[in-house]
A and B are shown apart, each in its own frame.
Chain A
Amino acid sequence: MNAALAILAVTFAVAVALGLAARRGHVMNLEQWSVGGRAFGTVFVFLLMAGEIYTTFTFLGGSGWAYGKGGPALYILCYGAIAYSWSYFLLPIIWRYAREKKLVSQADFFVAKYDSNALGVLVALVSVAALVPYLVLQLKGLGIIVSEASYGRVPSTAAVWAGAGALTLYVIVSGVRGSAWTAALKDVMILGVALVLGIYLPFHYYGGYGAMFEAIDRAKPGFLTLPASGMSPSWFISTVLLTATGFYMWPQFFAGAYTAKREDVFRKNAVILPLYQLVILFVFFVGFAAILQVPGLEGADGDLSLFRIAEQTFSPATVGVIGAAGLLTALVPGSMILLTGATILAQNVYRPMASVASDRGVTLLARSLVGVIALASVWLTLRGGEAIVPLLLMGYNMVTQLFPALFFSLPERPMVSTAAAAAGILAGEATVAYLSLSGASVATLLPWAPQVVKDLNVGIVALIVNFAVLGVVGAITRAPRAPALAPGQSPER
């Protein structure tokens, strides 16, 4: 038991030390703090972009989905690969513009393209509303991981406070460099843990993959495929396309792209990242192996399957290593979310509203806001119950609504008016809110439709409403004709 605790504590200390040391040799102005002075090479950008794959959601939820849902979990393997292949074309365009205009946040991109601070505020509010549940989920996962891996010695509440405290500290000090440095440690550990567990457990308990899957197929016929209705192939395909569309709309990955030194970095990453994310398959193997070995975890408890089978199989020291890897899957994405949320609020909400805002003032405010957002998230983590998972799903749908306005702004000048972009986003968000709160699905909206249509992911409805409203408003208003801002002039500065 003590071995596990020691390993957790050491990893935690190393991560914080790395996060703090990342600052060395850099004067932390806003550009340096938020986007690393746009000086990251392939490896750091790779680590930031790979951040999405190994959050606590994939570590616990990936094995949990494989354990509880089976076949449908495989959608997680597809959307990342597809989004990465799209990034080959998308990210260089975004990066080039961001560099020219010296943008530091995703909302900045909309401000500059559409020449509208108001649109920036709208995008900023959407971003923060989506980011906070995401951070809460990371903190919740961190609490679960640490309490499991320490065999209950460290209560989840203490872990959440310690994790949030550490994040606040190194994000304030080092900004995105702190995320990048800790991401390096995280990826090495998680890669090792996922591969070892995903290979060892199926062979240890079943003698191999074929035998494991045959055993599962015998015990639970149909579990390893998609059901004929519900999470059917039509659900699968629509969900993959929708999540791939929303992937780079997350403000932390969008702005993560700003950190690159050269645009070629993205193209190389588009080749490597689809392969790299296949490691999630090994996390699934752990969940599959657990089905017949630690049966009986119902519902959300399925997320504990990875730890339960590990505790049953390995020594406390090994469980400690697994927990340490899991701890890092919470810290790294958590730090990017904190950084991004604070940057957006200071840069895109405070700056346009303040009559005089110096870069210094905005940087100072952004760094103070890190603590505020962290505190709010800890509060939500400790107070909020299960309600947070629907909020996260809503968050994914919310950021996806930024896609149409972004897409039409990609040419040199936006193809639609600012009013159209804003109307589309507002209509899309309103639809997302309505669908989430009412719990509607395509089946309840269109009860007469064939099953193939009924099973479509309901998020598609919001995206269609968004495109439609954008199209209608776009047809009656005019796109900005002149270039949004003179070249070299940064937004609202």
Chain B
Amino acid sequence: MPESPAPAPDRTTTGTRLRRYHWLTAVPTIILLGGIPFVNRVHPMILGLPLLIAWILLWVVVISGVMGFVLYLDRAHARDGDGR
């Protein structure tokens, strides 16, 4: 079986190391799910959407934002050379 191409040096990220700010990524998930019993209603509607739908929409967008922020921090660490 031919070899796969040699591993490209992956300097853009920080490897497996868990950092304290990685816990940030759990926050929107916890708020999204923890809030469900409290927003389980139609009114007030937000942007024409029932509150329950608007709540889920908001926190899914925040999940994406937080993942982006963490990726940015990870890359900054990797660039500073203390990532590995």
A interface residues with partner B (beta carbon < 8 Å): 27, 29-31, 37-39, 71, 74, 77-78, 81-82, 84-85, 88-89, 92-93, 96, 99, 102, 208-214, 217, 224-226, 233, 236-237, 240-241, 261-264, 267-268, 270-272, 274-275, 277-278, 281, 359
Query: Does chain A have a CB within 8 A of B83?
Result: no
Closest A residue to B28 by CB, please name it.
Answer: A85
Q: Which residues of A contact B7 (CB under 8 A)?
A: 99
Contacting pair A82 B41 (CB below 8 A): no
Whether B50 contacts A274 by the Cβ 8 Å rule is no
| Cβ contacts B23-58/A at 8 Å (1 or 0 each) | 001001100110011001110010111101100110
Within the complex, which residue of B42, B48, B70 is in contact with A225, where a contact is CB–CB below 8 Å? B42
A353 and B72 alpha carbons, distance in the complex (Å):
47
Interface contact A31-B61, CB-CB below 8 Å:
no
**Chain A interface main SS type:** helix
Contact indicator A208/B68 (Cβ below 8 Å): no
Question: Complex formed: what's the CA distance from A263 to B58 in Å?
Answer: 28
Asked if residues A71 and B60 are in contact (CB atoms below 8 Å), the reply is: no
Selected from A31, A210, A271, the residue in CB contact (under 8 A) with B64 is A271
A341 nearest CB across to chain B (Å): 21
One of A93, A224, A241 near B33 (C-beta < 8 A): A241
Complex partner residue of A267 from B8, B64, B74, CB under 8 angstroms: B74
> Given known contacts A237-B33, A271-B68, is B56 in contact with A77 (CB within 8 Å)?
yes
What are 6 A-B residue pairs whose CB atoms fall within 8 Å in the complex? A30-B1, A38-B5, A210-B49, A225-B42, A264-B10, A277-B60
Q: Which of A38, A81, A211 contacts B60 (CB 8 A)?
A: A81
Structural contact, B4 and A99, CB atoms closer than 8 A: yes
- CB-CB under 8 A from B50, the residues of chain A are 213, 217, 224-225
Closest residue on chain B to residue A270 by CB atoms: B67
Q: How far is the CA of A224 from the CA of B52 in the complex (A)?
A: 8
| Contact A74 B53, beta carbon cutoff 8 Å | yes
Nearest B residue (CB) for A212: B48
Task: Answer whether A39 and B42 are a contact pair too, CB < 8 Å, given A81-B63, A271-B64, A271-B71.
Answer: no
Provide the residues of chain B in CB contact with A267, threshold 8 Å. Answer: 13, 67, 71, 74
B28 CB → nearest A CB, Å: 8
Q: Which residues of B sit under 8 angstroms from A278, Cβ to Cβ?
A: 57, 60-61
Which range holds the interface residue count of chain B? 35 or more
User: Which residues of B are interface residues toward A (Cβ below 8 A)?
Assistant: 1-2, 4-5, 7-8, 10, 12-13, 15-16, 18, 22, 25, 28-29, 32-33, 36-37, 40-42, 45, 47-50, 52-53, 56-57, 60-61, 63-64, 66-68, 70-71, 74
- B16 is contacted by which of A92, A225, A271 (Cβ under 8 Å)? A92
Q: Report yes or no: B56 in contact with A224, Cβ–Cβ below 8 A.
A: no
Q: Is the pair A38, B74 in contact by a Cβ cutoff of 8 Å?
A: no
A93 touches B48 (CB 8 A): no
Is the CB–CB distance between A272 and B48 below 8 Å?
A: no
Contacts of B4 in A (CB 8 A): 31, 37-39, 99, 102
Q: How many whole Å from A199's CB to the nearest CB in chain B?
A: 12
Known A30-B1, A37-B4, A82-B29; judge A210-B60 contact (CB<8 A).
Answer: no
Which of A89, A99, A208, A277 counts the most chain B CB atoms within 10 A?
A89
Q: Which chain A positions have C-beta within 8 A of B56?
A: 74, 77-78
Q: Which residues of A contact B48 (CB under 8 A)?
A: 208-213
Cα distance A201–B29 in the bound complex, in angstroms = 31
Report if A274-B16 is in contact (Cβ < 8 Å); known contacts: A88-B25, A89-B22, A213-B49.
no
A82 close to B45 (CB less than 8 A): no
Q: A78-B60, A213-B49, A267-B13 are in contact. List 4 more A-B contacts (CB 8 A).
A: A29-B2, A225-B40, A268-B71, A274-B63
B16 near A226: Cβ-Cβ < 8 Å: no
Which residues of chain B have C-beta atoms less than 8 A from A88's C-beta?
A: 25, 67, 70-71
Given contacts A99-B7, A274-B67, A275-B60, contact A226 B49 (CB under 8 A): no
Query: B47, A209: Cβ atoms under 8 Å?
Result: yes
Q: Which of A217, A264, A281 has the most CB of B within 10 A?
A: A264
CB distance from A71 to the nearest CB of B (A): 6
Shortest CB–CB separation between residue A315 and chain B, in angstroms? 28
Question: When A and B form their complex, which 8 residue pairs have the shortest distance between CB atoms, in order from nearest?
Answer: A209-B48, A210-B48, A233-B37, A274-B64, A271-B68, A81-B60, A271-B67, A233-B36
Q: How far is the CA of A226 from the CA of B41 in the complex (A)?
A: 8
Q: Is the CB of B13 within 8 A of A85?
A: no
* Bound-state Cα–Cα, A208 to B49, Å: 10
What is the minimal beta-carbon distance from A127 to any residue of chain B, in angstroms? Answer: 23
Report the separation of the CA atoms of residues A276 and B67 in the bound assembly, to the nearest whole angstrom: 14
Verify A77–B60 contact, CB threshold 8 A: yes
